[in-house]
Structure 1
Amino acid sequence: MFELKDIIYKDILKIDHLHIEDNKVSILTGESGSGKTTVLKLLNHLISPDEGTVLYKGKDIAALDPVQHRRNVVMLQQMHAIFPGTVKDNLTAGLRFADQAVPDDQLLEEALQHVHLRKSLDTEADGLSGGEQQRLALARVLLLDAEVFLLDEPSSALDEETADEVIAGFLKKVKQKNRTVVMVTHSKQIAERYADVPVHLEEYNQKSKDAAHER
């Protein structure tokens, strides 16, 4: 689905070739500073490489309409946004931005169930804990029903047991529709349990290899 070829980005990434498979859960792991989030941003066309090519379905991302691309390839950033208003307001915000129809309350509630967030739709979002807000943002992304989900540390604010439940629920729904997921996580448990394709970024990033050699 994605190919990164001869990528150089600042002093962060130097990747000869990386292939992200279609309809798989690829989980990126690596030390802090190894470029995991940078890879997600390249896939989402939020940034462009200094050198090299990023392909999506065989087409150069640089030639694609960035707005339409980000509707097909949605990204949940680690610093996710929570908007003023209720849980329902937050769930429907992404749909409104993407010019998609807002589903009925039952489907909104089902999205909350998939991420194990037991809150009513009229709950004020700013009263939620950090972990609850993270799950709310994940449910909002799930509702977009994109081709690809890019998730940057989607369970970082959760304890291990809750993180396991949330990621399992999210991925179960996504896999039912044969979608693609690229996830960054520091959790060894999540990576080992849910990666169809583990991607240890140091194995691809020549910058990491150079730094290790210097040490």
Structure 2
Amino acid sequence: MFQLNDVKYKNIINTKQLTIPADAITAVTGPSGSGKSTLLRLLNYLVTPESGTISYQGKPFSEWEPVELRRQVMMLPQQPVLFGETVAENLQAGRLFSGREEASEEKLTAAAQQCMLDKKLSEPAENLSGGEQQRLSLARLLLAAPDVYLLDEPTSALDEDMEWNVMERFLAEARRSAKGVIFISHATAMADHFADRIVHSNSFTGGEV
């Protein structure tokens, strides 16, 4: 689990105590600008609090090597980032990040299909639409197979039906693989439907839980 104690970061995060399970599906909700993305960046060790401590699985972040932590806890930002030229190269990047051996073409295709991306592995990734690039990024994350997925509105470029379908398939695979997921959602209905637990921004910005 993640444990935050007396954590403050700029004028954004201010929480006396917050516990987030690392083996369940947790939705983070709240209005725009309420610190949701900053919380994920803190959990991914991309920024450090000005005061207080954050622990993962009982071990303070100060005792973790950042690279090792990020191999166990991987974050997907809202804006997709491309690695390499083709769909295949982008998918294999997930294996590289996690220190795993390259996946077969069959596994690459299966991961893409799990995220409803129907593209040839040889397709130039830059030719994909914004929504397709988001699905490519989700598939890459599945192939990386960390213990915890941190998702910052990963389907924001998709229409509502596709968004629900992609999230349903991604989260189903996460549950099947016993992975934890912490995802930011602007859709309350999606959080209510998919999450085991919902964390509202009030719980980490100094408001009332």
TM-score (norm 1): 0.93
**Cα-to-partner distance string for 1:123-159 (whole Å, 9 max, x where unaligned):** 1111111100010011101111110100001110011
Q: What is the RMSD computed on CA atoms of the aligned residues?
A: 1.2
Distance 1:81 1:205 in 2: 29
Return structure 1 stretches of 4+ with deviation > 4 angstroms.
none
Contact persistence 1:85–1:124 (CA under 8 A): yes
1:103 partner letter: A
Show the counterpart of 1:59. 59
Distance 1:96 1:204 in 2: 33
Contact persistence 1:153–1:185 (CA under 8 A): yes
Gaps of 5+ in 1: 210-215
SS at 2:111's partner residue? helix
Distance 2:165 2:102 in 1: 26
Contact persistence 1:86–1:125 (CA under 8 A): yes
Show the counterpart of 1:41. 41
Contact persistence 1:10–1:50 (CA under 8 A): yes
Distance 1:187 1:180 in 2: 20
Show the counterpart of 2:101. 101
Gaps of 5+ in 2: none
Contact persistence 2:95–2:103 (CA under 8 A): no
Percent identity, aligned pairs only? 41
Contact persistence 2:97–2:144 (CA under 8 A): no
Contact persistence 2:94–2:140 (CA under 8 A): yes
Distance 2:84 2:72 in 1: 26
SS at 2:90's partner residue? helix
TM-score (norm 2): 0.96
Give how far 1:32 is off: 1.3
1:34 partner letter: S
Q: How many residues align?
A: 208
Contact persistence 2:71–2:97 (CA under 8 A): no
